[in-house]
Structure 1
């Protein structure tokens, strides 16, 4: 592997492009605190609404962004495939900036704020399509897994920043000032501008340029990323690999996707991918992502400041879990182990949380209604259960669902299948985000019991349906895991590619490079 100094430009390109995932995380992180700020409620005339109407208004503000993200994925597909990954990232940044401007100037119009959230979400959705492709295509095969982990870390860093910005604005700015809720929104605008300008300074994906037969530009892109002169033998090796991978992809595109769906192994892979994305978003994490301040209030921490502080700590736990998975957990055990363990831990913590929130809601006969009642012990346990759930999820369902979907599909239908699983993921997020406030208002503590039941269902489903894919090559080995057979034409192409690149073994293993092209979302 190249030295770290030769990878400097690669890491610069990765960090700049990962700014888009940081913006995605920020959009998820700050809104939970934003919608409970006194200035936000006053500016949009929400402070006098009934609990039911307020829950509905909050639900729409959160869900508009997620709907936009769902729309943004298919909207970005032609941009990403025709004009490139980098331009698609800039396209996402433009949408993000426009959405932030609409929110900033919404003044007293909640509908305009929601439209801004929708457009902002479209930018985030477009980035979820382009960024993983860009990262996988600029990295060497041995570094792709690490960069995908960095992608997750940036999401959690953005979410953490969003949580704490909302807390600091509530703590330091007056409740009767619109600036209190506008500062978190303004940071969205600044971040979008940084991404837009930063992407102009990094090269297009060399693999995309190869797919467009623009080989001179591909070599220049590789030369910049690897910090080597054009014509360097290692660049030549990588160029030949990319040409071969592109040829393989082109030859396998002749079969229609509908005919591929007739194959039992393809249907099984889609079952696994779609199931992972549905359960990932349904077992409780999105309820915590968007409404954690409200949940902490229901556990007894009734002040806005206390709930926002706890929500900020919740974001820190998510970041720690992401770091633990990327640098530790993924090295020791397989995907099935972490998914099953995560489901079990999440189930237990949700059931305990349900009991504690129910106990917190029972009035104590010794309490004086004229005095401030201290937080009960069960309230503290409730917070701890949220944190344990978050960590367990962060080392299991959070990253592994994306990783499995990126590696299980056949090369020639990889992008299409992952677009399906990504859209399913966003659609599931919409349903859970929209349903959480009214369900919390109607069911209260029972909602957590239901989520605990879903965690148990996820455990059984993983044990029965999801095969182990860690360390399995994405070619014929993965076909064997899912009971498929390599088509004759594909075998011939693989043989041709192997012969073409036989002299390149001194630079890297040919098969592992092909096996990972191109991991999408």
Structure 2
């Protein structure tokens, strides 16, 4: 399987896969670096003795300390839940690019507030800052996948939206190792625990600046009546003239989809809500989108991300620094596997197969880890040498194997799927519901995980493994494959007449037939785009 093996819906000029589309996607995906960094650093930072000393942790009971930790972690997800819905209005009226600028600015404000936290002032600024930062990443988590999917050529759409997941893992690796670095190299002090909070400003600032240098989504511009600007941006992103056959086909498809949306759903702010209520095809896709994030979050990933020291302690890893080191290795494994997913799997093996294979393999691994803890009880029977036993080593191996199964399947694929399956004028609202459902389930996991480990012990692993098995049934019967399907053809894919497991093959065959007919008609009639209609500036690609 080659990195260059692309599944194209029609003959595509090689210049379409150019650096502009990759750079634009990478800038937008920087919001995921902020999210991944938070998920990795926050649990480890709260576990630092310097943080506990400054806020007099010893005065709390175990239950009280768990509650405060859960609140600090979970208010971020609560803010993100509302931010995902705020992004619908921003994306509809202001566009994808300006919306991302606003939410990255909100995140910067929140991260700045956190830096004012100290023992004297208490935790108030930390709570407020994390709520604002959550709103920022919640809004960006809505708009980023949409923006990338709307500018991506179909053959590499999964790869480009996958940059969002790659950013998440890069942030995670940095977060894990920053915690380890400050714990190993710095004395216990205010600076030791505040530095990880300050580093959040770096990816947020880079994203905010980078957004000034990329183009607005052409498809959003078309829906807002800014046709000339939309065509100009599309020509710049594709590096093609508007007279190129590929451009003729793409603009024709956008026009047809826009006309269909105008005649059915409508192009106003409230029409997508009406479609959600009255159109069963739309509401069904909303259900699928939200359900995907239910299954993602009940796989156990965020319990492990936010409370990794607790997870490794349950397997038998002892010592704060050793736990942080083990967590850092976990982050590196996820990042490496994400690169493989990004370039080799998502646009080749496809979304549907990845979700099913990953769930099955991941469930087997978690069953093993849970069974080991149930039998060996390493927390109450530690090794005399202080090192992991052979059984503990095997449990760690299966835990990392679970990471290898989970990361290229449920970690990023739901984001890709949601970014592409909705019709154009419903896409922002659909992604808002999907992203909000992710943050809602994320919040519930972050809020109650510590208590789950206390109450259920090894049962937590068996619980998550069983839900992963159930997710296979959901995917097999309800999700059609979306790889290589143009955004404007998603309605065909989700047609009630097609069984999900066969829909992809049928639609791809129809698309090839339609493409041949379109080319024959254009070549036979000499039809082209009227340059006067779009303006001279959009006639050719801008100079680099």
Question: TM-score, normalization: structure 2?
Answer: 0.81
Deviations 1:430-487 (A, max 9, x none): 111111011112222222222222223323443444455556651324313369xxxx
2:42 corresponds to 1:31: yes
CA contact (8 A) 2:33 2:169 kept: yes
C-alpha distance in structure 1 between counterparts of 2:190 and 2:358, whole Å: 41
C-alpha distance in structure 2 between counterparts of 1:474 and 1:400, whole Å: 17
- SS of alignment partner, residue 307 of structure 2: helix
Which of 95, 98, 120 is the matching residue for 2:109? 98
> Which residue of structure 2 lines up, in the alignment, with residue 487 of structure 1?
none
Change (3 A) 1:294 1:48: farther
C-alpha distance in structure 2 between counterparts of 1:335 and 1:228, whole Å: 29
C-alpha distance in structure 1 between counterparts of 2:127 and 2:492, whole Å: 47
**Structure 2 gaps, min length 5:** 1-11, 501-513, 526-544
> Which residue of structure 2 lines up, in the alignment, with residue 172 of structure 1?
185
- SS of alignment partner, residue 325 of structure 1: helix
Deviations 1:185-235 (A, max 9, x none): 111112222211111122222222222222343344335434568x67579
**Structure 1 gaps, min length 5:** 484-494, 507-521
> Which residue of structure 2 lines up, in the alignment, with residue 481 of structure 1?
498
Which of 337, 354, 370 is the matching residue for 1:354? 370
Change (3 A) 1:327 1:13: closer
CA contact (8 A) 2:272 2:425 kept: no
> Which residue of structure 1 lines up, in the alignment, with residue 226 of structure 2?
214
> Which residue of structure 1 lines up, in the alignment, with residue 3 of structure 2?
none
- Over aligned residue pairs, what C-alpha RMSD do you find? 3.1
* Residues matched between the structures, number: 488
CA contact (8 A) 2:54 2:118 kept: yes
Which of 190, 197, 200 is the matching residue for 2:209? 197
Change (3 A) 1:353 1:474: same
C-alpha distance in structure 2 between counterparts of 1:505 and 1:157, whole Å: 51
C-alpha distance in structure 2 between counterparts of 1:295 and 1:459, whole Å: 25
* Structure-to-structure mapping, 1:126-275, within 5 angstroms: 126-175=139-188, 177-227=189-239, 233=244, 237=248, 242-254=254-266, 257-258=273-274, 261-262=277-278, 265-275=281-291
CA contact (8 A) 1:298 1:357 kept: yes
- SS of alignment partner, residue 75 of structure 2: helix
2:102 corresponds to 1:83: no
Change (3 A) 1:47 1:504: farther
CA contact (8 A) 2:365 2:401 kept: yes
Task: Tell me how far 1:127 sits from its aligned partner.
Answer: 0.7
Task: Tell me how far 1:308 sits from its aligned partner.
Answer: 0.8
CA contact (8 A) 1:96 1:188 kept: no
